[in-house]
Amino acid sequence: MAWTDPTRAIVVGVDASPSNAAAVDYAAHDATATGRDLVLVVAVDDSVIPVPHHDVRFDTSHEWQLLHETERRLRADHPDLTVHHEVRFGGAAHCLLDRSVEQARLVVGKRGLGTFSRMLAGSTSIAVAGRSRVPVFVVPPAWEQAAHEHDKVLVGIDPDEESETALRFAFTEAARRGVRLEVLHSVDIEPILVWDPQLGGPTYREWQERGAGSVERTVKPLRDEFPDVEVELTHKVGHPGTALLDAAARAQLLVLGRRRNGRFGLELGSVARGVLHHSETPVVVVPSH
């Protein structure tokens, strides 16, 4: 994938909200660990109602001040980090997608509006995760990476769909971070197939055997390619979103693939949306190619 080019930078969206600091810190930590440049981007919404004979000018002094203050704060912890900063005009999602299209990855904060703002992902994070051509990291507001350095990387896969790109990304991240990788496969089957010993027993056992074999075959080539990565294969019965959220509580990163579907080529599925809304662990959405 082109985004693996070591000369490509990491792009992070910057705003003045307190919750954004975790995303910026995460991006700086990632850039330092991978030896990449960091690009700080502030978006200025330039959508205005046109007024005849009136020239609309935007004062961006506040945005530039925010960028300079953010860079100074980051340099205190990452003195050797190469930082670029930009003010762009347009909607936040459009600006971030446009700036990151030829870079390595995009980092955004997870935040929403209203009563459940600490739980739900905002419209910008959902929009970029669903449309970006590069991996998108969505970082919860209270996340501190230093406290999770030794936690596992988790990836959710479905052997019946395109999983190779996300799986390879997960192996690469686990190898780079020197941690265990958990590969999780979950299927939501009818309750009677689980609880009724007469009707469900044989079907359930058959599913377990078939699912385990399918996942093992999917993982084996990458297991051979990354022999130093400790891999745990997990099979669950239940809603995939619930299984992923439960497992992610003990992980430092959750990797999800973005499936190829629909007339626009790629889309964010319902499981990915649910996980993005409710995960308290950073989630990276990896587009299929």
- Structure confidence by residue, pLDDT tens digits, 217-247: 999 999 999 999 999 999 887 889 999 999 9
Rounded CA separation 144/123 (Å): 23
State residue 12's pLDDT score.
98
Task: Using alpha carbons, select from 113, 234, 105, 119 the residue that is nearest to residue 182.
Answer: 234
Q: Which domains does the chain have, with CATH numbers?
A: 1-147 (3.40.50.620), 149-289 (3.40.50.12370)
State residue 56's pLDDT score.
57
State residue 199's pLDDT score.
53
pTM, rounded to two decimals = 0.88
Task: Enumerate the β-bridge partners of residue 153.
Answer: 181, 253
Rounded CA separation 81/31 (Å): 8
State residue 113's pLDDT score.
36
State residue 108's pLDDT score.
97
pLDDT (mean) for 84-103: 94
- Structure confidence by residue, pLDDT tens digits, 13-42: 999 988 899 999 999 999 999 999 999 999
Could you give the percent of the chain with pLDDT greater than 70?
82
- Structure confidence by residue, pLDDT tens digits, 192-222: 455 555 555 556 666 666 667 788 999 999 9
Residue 53 pLDDT exceeds 70: no
pLDDT (mean) for 112-139: 76
85 token code pair: 């900063």
State residue 287's pLDDT score.
93
State residue 34's pLDDT score.
96
Residue pair 41/96 in contact (Cβ under 8 Å)? The answer is yes
Rounded CA separation 210/220 (Å): 15
Residue 175 pLDDT exceeds 90: yes
More confident residue, 201 or 259: 259
For the sheet with 105-109, list strands across it.
Answer: 83-89, 38-44, 10-13, 105-109, 136-139, 283-287, 251-258, 152-156, 181-187, 231-237
Q: Tell me the C-alpha to C-alpha distance, in Å, between residue 143 and each of 25, 162, 235.
A: 9, 30, 28
Residue pair 138/125 in contact (Cβ under 8 Å)? The answer is yes
Rounded CA separation 87/109 (Å): 18
Q: What is the DSSP annotation of the chain?
A: -GGG-TTPPEEEE--SSTTHHHHHHHHHHHHHHHT--EEEEEEE-------TT-------HHHHHHHHHHHHHHHHH-TT--EEEEEEES-HHHHHHHHHTTSSEEEEE----STTTTTSPPHHHHHHHHH-SS-EEEE-TT--GGGGTTSEEEEE--TTS--HHHHHHHHHHHHHHT--EEEEEEE---HHHHH-TTTHHHHHHHHHHHHHHHHHHHHHHHHHH-TTS-EEEEEEES-HHHHHHHHHTTEEEEEEEE-B-STTSB---HHHHHHHHH-SS-EEEEE--
Task: Using alpha carbons, select from 172, 154, 128 the residue that is nearest to residue 4.
Answer: 172
Average pLDDT, the chain: 86
The pLDDT-based confidence of 3 (bands split at 50, 70, 90) is: confident
More confident residue, 36 or 51: 36
Residue 118 pLDDT exceeds 60: no
Neighbours of 249 (CB within 10 A): 12
The pLDDT-based confidence of 262 (bands split at 50, 70, 90) is: very low
More confident residue, 47 or 20: 20
* Greatest mean pLDDT range, 47-56, 117-126, 150-159: 150-159
State residue 121's pLDDT score.
62
The pLDDT-based confidence of 71 (bands split at 50, 70, 90) is: very high
pLDDT (mean) for 146-172: 92
Task: Enumerate the β-bridge partners of residue 85.
Answer: 40
